[in-house]
Structures are given as structure tokens and as C-alpha cells.
């Protein structure tokens, strides 16, 4: 295959504005799915199917049977994020443009580019002794509901020896990375209740407990200023990476300064200071607050003392941390750290 043809085909894929979150682009999402399906057929796949949705189907395909060979699932997605704000783009988002030897366009790096490379790499190579399975979805940027529903209904779709997810980051420019594992997730809602109904701050302020205040206090107890998660037993199963891994990470073109300035774009990094930033990001569990509900959050002013407040939180889990155990540990810690007069 010559480069020109590959670029032409990739550009064709990138030009489809398959924005999954915007219903106006439903037909574009379908078109991107058709594009993927045609490529799978060209690869010699059997059973190329559109599953779970007419407009945002999961494109499923099976490569030629190789008896006795291991099975590899290739996962990717053909949908993209909305391109706003348009004024920030150097080239129009759906008109892929090459500058300095790089192709720019919505989806080029997430995830059409990767899907394209994998399909073309398989096509270009001598037939590898692998049973390929493809699951290329169209709602990754929109919560993957179609895919999750499909896997709940047909779990055998992911029965395999390995899964290749080509939807990750480079460690640094020109430094591609193989992610061998990702942290797992424990998502939870913590609700604090302080009285039967919301109260008026003019009549009750100063003596009635405030659910937001108690929740804030509980959350700052659950995770201290030093970044330590105060859940008994939480860190017990956590193993440090091997010396070889830690040494390899040190050689990566990663600096905390660059990470802070170019990626986080904040004023400082936080977390457990005695571990390197990469270890904090890749090998340690986390506790994050995502949103807080309750009380009054509309326009303008309302002086209610909220009777109930809920925090959406999640913990990233590392190998050996079991979800069920962590859930139990979190519930116990919340009980222990919440004031006696609070229902949590």
C-alpha cells in the first residue's frame, strides 16, 4: 500500500463528522460505522454486524478462523467529540490537513487514527496466527451505553485471550506507549442527611446542622490534605511496581514541570509526596470528588440550609484491590468519619 492511498483513505474516514453526542449527526455516525464495516469486509472478516443501535451501532466482525490460535479482541471507536469551540481550530475540524508531517483533524488521534492504523497494519502483514475479533463502537464519547448493553446481553463477545484498546495517550511526542493495564473504578454516591427537610437559614442558621457543611467535613476527612485516603485497609493490598518498572519509568521523557504546565495546566500537583508523580498516576489508587448535589444551585440567591447533600465520588483501583472489599471499606469509613448526628 502506498502512503498516498493510505492518507486518502484516512482522510475520507476523518471527514465523516460522526459526533455521537449531537443527534443532528446521527446519520454521520451511521456512515462512519458503514465505513468501518466495509474495511472489515475487505480484511476478510466473517459476520460483520451492526449491533445495538441503528445510528450508533457497535460494528462487530470476526477475522478468518485460525484453529488453536489465541483470540485477540480489537476495540476502538469511530465517534468523535463535538468540535467546538470552532474558532480554536487552525484547520476546519472535518477537513484533515497535514502540517509539519502530522495530520490534523477531529478524531485523528482519538480514535479513528488508531482504528485505521490497526486495520491497515493487519491488512499489510502476512496473515498472523491470531483469531481476530473486532468491536468498534460509536458512543465512546457519549458513555458507551450501546456497547455496555450489548456486553451485558452477550458477554461472549469479549471471551478472548487479550484485548487491544488503541485509545490511549503518548507519554511524550514521538514516544508511543503500550498500556498494559488500566486502573479499575469504584464509583459511589455518599449522601449525608442532617434533618427531615431543608430549613430557612434566617430562622435556623447557627443551630441547625447543614448537610453541605457536614459532607464537606466528611470528604476532607476521607482524603486528607496530604493526599492520603483515610479508609482503613484501603492501601493494604497495593503493591509497589517492580524496581525494573520504576527504573523504566524514570527513563521516560516525562517531567513533572511539563506535566503540570502542559497537561494539568494548573499551579501545582498534589497527592502523596513520597511517591513520584508517575507512580501516583499509574500505580496508586485514588479518591476523587466529581460533583455535589443538594440544596440550591440555581441562578441567584436562595438561603436554604440543605437537609441532604450527595457527593459523586470515585476511586481508581489498582491490582489486588477488590471492588467488593473497597465498597465495604468505604461504607465503613463513611460511617466512622461522619458525625453521630448525621445519617450517611
Q: List residues with catalytic annotation.
A: 79, 140
Report the residue from 158, 281, 331, 337 that binds its own copies according to the rule CB under 8 A: 281
Question: Which candidate, 184, 165, 168, 180, places its Cα nearest to that of 318?
Answer: 184
DSSP at 172 = B
Residue 155 vs 291, nearer CB to its own copies: 291
Report the residue from 70, 205, 233, 319 that binds its own copies according to the rule CB under 8 A: 205
* Cβ neighbourhood burial of 234 (10 Å; 0-12, 13-18, 19+): buried
Can residue 158 be called a binding residue for its own copies (CB under 8 A)?
no
Nine-digit cell at 194? 442532617
**Spatial distance between the Cα atoms of 238 and 285, rounded to a whole number of angstroms:** 8
**Spatial distance between the Cα atoms of 140 and 149, rounded to a whole number of angstroms:** 13
Can residue 290 be called a binding residue for its own copies (CB under 8 A)?
yes
Can residue 192 be called a binding residue for its own copies (CB under 8 A)?
no
Residue 129 vs 143, nearer CB to its own copies: 143
Report the residue from 86, 124, 301, 324 that binds its own copies according to the rule CB under 8 A: 301
DSSP at 273 = T
Can residue 147 be called a binding residue for its own copies (CB under 8 A)?
no
Can residue 190 be called a binding residue for its own copies (CB under 8 A)?
no
Phi-psi sector, 100: left (phi>0), alpha (psi -120 to 50), beta: left
* Shortest Å, Cβ 97 to its own copies: 24
From the list 3-11, 96-104, 156-164, 285-293, the region that binds its own copies by CB under 8 A is 285-293
Residue 91 vs 343, nearer CB to its own copies: 343
Can residue 341 be called a binding residue for its own copies (CB under 8 A)?
yes
Q: Which long-range contacts (CB under 8 A, 24 or more apart) does 101-105 make?
A: 103/7, 103/10, 103/11, 103/14, 105/11, 105/14, 105/15
* Shortest Å, Cβ 204 to its own copies: 6
The values of phi and psi at residue 335, to 5°, are: -60, -40
Can residue 297 be called a binding residue for its own copies (CB under 8 A)?
yes
Count CA atoms closer than 13 A to 290's CA, side-chain side. 11
Report the residue from 99, 239, 257, 340 that binds its own copies according to the rule CB under 8 A: 340
Residues numbered 216 to 275 that lie near its own copies (CB under 8 A) are 216-217, 219-220, 223, 225, 227, 259, 263-272
Residues numbered 116 to 145 that lie near its own copies (CB under 8 A) are 143
* Shortest Å, Cβ 150 to its own copies: 18
> H or E segment at 187?
strand 184-193
Question: Which residues fall within 8 angstroms of residue 31, CB to CB, at 6 or more apart?
Answer: 16, 18
Report the residue from 14, 58, 147, 342 that binds its own copies according to the rule CB under 8 A: 342
Amino acid at each position: 500500500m502506498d502512503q498516498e492511498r493510505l492518507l486518502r483513505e484516512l482522510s475520507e474516514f476523518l471527514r465523516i463528522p460522526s459526533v455521537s453526542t449531537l443527534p443532528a449527526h446521527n446519520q454521520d455516525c451511521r456512515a462512519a460505522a458503514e465505513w468501518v464495516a466495509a474495511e472489515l469486509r475487505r480484511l476478510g472478516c466473517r459476520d460483520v454486524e451492526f449491533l445495538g443501535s441503528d445510528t450508533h451501532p457497535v460494528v462487530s466482525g470476526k477475522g478468518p478462523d485460525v484453529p488453536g490460535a489465541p483470540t485477540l479482541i480489537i476495540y476502538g471507536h469511530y465517534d468523535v467529540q463535538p468540535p467546538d469551540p470552532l474558532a480554536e481550530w487552525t484547520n476546519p475540524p472535518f477537513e484533515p490537513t497535514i502540517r509539519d508531517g502530522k495530520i490534523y483533524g477531529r478524531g485523528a488521534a482519538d480514535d479513528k487514527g488508531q482504528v485505521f492504523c490497526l486495520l491497515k497494519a493487519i491488512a499489510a502483514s502476512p496473515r498472523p496466527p491470531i483469531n481476530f475479533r473486532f468491536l468498534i463502537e460509536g458512543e465512546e464519547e457519549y458513555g458507551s451505553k450501546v456497547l455496555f448493553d450489548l456486553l451485558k446481553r452477550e458477554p461472549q463477545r469479549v471471551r478472548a485471550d487479550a484485548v487491544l484498546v488503541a485509545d490511549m495517550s503518548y507519554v511524550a511526542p514521538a514516544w508511543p506507549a503500550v498500556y498494559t493495564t488500566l486502573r479499575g473504578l469504584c464509583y459511589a454516591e455518599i449522601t449525608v442527611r442532617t434533618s427531615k427537610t431543608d430549613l430557612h437559614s434566617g430562622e435556623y442558621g447557627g443551630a441547625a446542622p447543614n448537610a453541605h457543611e457536614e459532607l464537606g467535613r466528611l470528604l476532607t476527612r476521607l482524603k486528607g490534605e496530604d493526599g492520603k485516603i483515610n479508609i482503613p485497609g484501603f492501601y493494604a493490598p497495593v503493591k509497589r511496581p517492580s524496581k525494573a518498572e520504576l527504573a523504566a519509568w524514570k527513563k521516560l521523557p516525562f517531567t513533572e514541570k511539563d506535566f503540570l504546565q502542559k497537561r494539568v495546566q494548573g499551579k501545582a500537583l498534589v497527592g502523596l509526596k513520597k511517591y513520584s508523580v508517575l507512580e501516583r498516576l499509574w500505580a496508586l489508587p485514588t479518591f476523587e470528588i466529581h460533583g455535589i448535589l443538594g440544596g440550591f444551585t440555581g441562578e441567584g440567591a436562595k438561603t436554604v440550609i440543605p437537609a441532604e447533600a450527595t457527593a459523586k465520588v470515585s476511586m481508581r483501583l489498582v491490582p489486588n484491590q477488590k471492588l467488593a472489599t473497597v465498597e465495604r471499606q468505604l461504607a465503613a469509613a463513611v460511617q466512622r468519619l461522619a458525625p453521630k448526628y448525621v445519617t450517611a
